Amino acid sequence: MPASFDATFSALKDLRTYAKWWPEVKSVIPVSEEKAVLLIMGLLPYALEFLMEKLTEDPEAGVLSAQMTGDLIGFSSFKVQPEGDGCRLIYDQEVDVSKRLLRILAPVARPIFRLNHRLMMHRGEKGLREFLAAKV
């Protein structure tokens, strides 16, 4: 990531800005300082809505993590590490989809779901890069 550690960590910890830089995040409705309801939609014709609650916000370790409940159940985390003039960003996610239709389709549609997810993550990274570059 060509942006600084501080700028990247700051952008990632502010859930309210995700819809500004991540095209698949259609809306973010803050519930509290630590929680927000997100609505996401990739290229496939379905949306997922879930509550995201911050679990960890540790700037010293560069770690942000959150728990998800709703159409997605599980956790996600970002690890931001200074690297050269910028930083390295590692994303980890472990979720189950609770939406009934998607669970039924999963055995045959899993490759398409994975492609949709890869595209979503790629566009999120691209959007974050552009968002951070505009702030410089």
* CATH code of the domain in which 33 resides: 3.30.530.20
**Domain, as residue range, for 129:** 5-135
Q: Tokens standing for 36?
A: 């927000």
| Domain count for the chain | 1
Q: Tokens standing for 108?
A: 């045959």
This prediction has a pTM of 0.91
The label of the residue with tokens 């910028």 reads: 86
Helix (H), strand (E) at residue 21: helix 18-21
Q: How confident is the model at residue 2 (pLDDT cuts 50, 70, 90)?
A: confident
Q: What is the pLDDT of residues 95-105, one digit of tens each?
A: 999 999 999 99
Contact call for residues 72 and 56 (beta carbons, < 8 A): no
Helix (H), strand (E) at residue 38: strand 35-40
Q: What is the pLDDT of residues 14-67, one digit of tens each?
A: 999 999 999 999 999 999 989 999 999 999 999 999 999 999 999 999 999 999
Query: Which residue, among 119, 117, 80, has the nearest Cα to 95 in the 3D structure?
Result: 117
